[in-house]
Amino acid sequence: MMHWFKRAFISFIAAVSASTPLSAAATEQLDDAARQELLQSGSAQQFVKLPLGIMHVRADGPLDGPVVLLVHGGVVGGFGFEKWRKPLADAGFRVLVPDLFGYGYSDRPKLPYTRQFYVDQIRQLLDALEIREPVAIVGASLGGAIVTAFTAQAPARVRSVVLMAPAGGGRVPVVNPVLLWPVVGDTVFHFFGASNMRTLMDKAYADSPDRASMAQWMASQTRYRGFAEGVLNTLRNYDAAWQPDDYAALGQTGIPVLALWGTADTVNPYAQAQVLARAVPQMKIVPLEGKGHAITFGASEQVLDAVLPFLKTATAQRSADWLSR
């Protein structure tokens, strides 16, 4: 076992070291001064104080519009929904896009990043903004598992669910096991994690006209301490890849669910859609032919063509149900 570990560790270090200098480790502290600078430069929009920490939130649309909460996946942060904000706001929705803790411009709490940690921050955000009516909630990748867990725990706070290539339908070995080892994984992620995640995203958008803007965002969020460590924290403490109980609970709620999935997805393969559909019988699946995993940002127009009508119909149905009481 130790011989395997030694070989794996040495080859992993050699691979990342070849393209990543030690100076790539994040050095800036995300404190009050940094937040003020982000606000003044227009990079950040608003910060909301929650019991778990200070969260950065982007918001658009009328304050009295039906709320749509967009929950990002791992690595990218709320910027992954950048192309969604204006179309949803123009359609009359109040759009909220948080950077989850550990990502973007939100705090990096020194806590275990568990399933409950993510569910609690969604609840705390809605409470802090005094949002009492049920919301439409959208989750991409890791965010799909998070919004499913939230809906399973608090179905009365949700009127509809949109899942974008969600995690939770099956385990996919995408993580080098070396990273999960104490001390070793921490050291590797501290020095190499942020830079290699930037490289990963650069490759994912290599043929996309959005490559430059995504690269700029990744450089911006990874400059602050704790980003890479937060990703590792999640990998160690939240088995988001396999959450059958949460999806079964979502299926029992009867809440409308739309799932969009790229047929060429190699992170959460399209075959998982049928696994989740058996657990969530009300789920409508929209396959995106030839698309990969990054559909939230990379195929936003095609995705929104399906999402907007669904959100409008679900909102109208909810209003009709309320009026008929």
**Does 182 reside within a domain?**
yes
For the domain that residue 117 is a member of, what is the CATH number? 3.40.50.1820
Q: Which two tokens stand for residue 121?
A: 């921050």
**Does 9 reside within a domain?**
no
**Does 160 reside within a domain?**
yes
> For residues 229 and 194, what is the distance between their CA atoms, to the nearest angstrom?
9
**Does 21 reside within a domain?**
no
**Does 207 reside within a domain?**
yes
Residues of the domain holding 55 = 28-323
pLDDT band at 227 (very low <50, low <70, confident <90, very high): confident
**Does 2 reside within a domain?**
no
**Does 14 reside within a domain?**
no
Percent share of the chain, pLDDT over 90: 61
Mean of the pLDDT values across residues 185-195? 60
1 versus 219: the higher-pLDDT residue is: 219
**Does 62 reside within a domain?**
yes
Q: What is the pLDDT of residues 93-124, one digit of tens each?
A: 999 999 999 999 999 999 999 999 999 999 99
Q: Number of folded domains in the chain?
A: 1
Q: What is the pLDDT of residues 20-41, one digit of tens each?
A: 443 345 679 999 999 999 999 9
Please enumerate in sequence order all residues whose Cβ is within 8 A of that of 44, keeping only pairs 6 or more positions apart, or say none. Answer: 35, 38, 56, 105
CA distances from 163 to 139, 216, 229, 233, 301 (A): 5, 26, 26, 23, 16
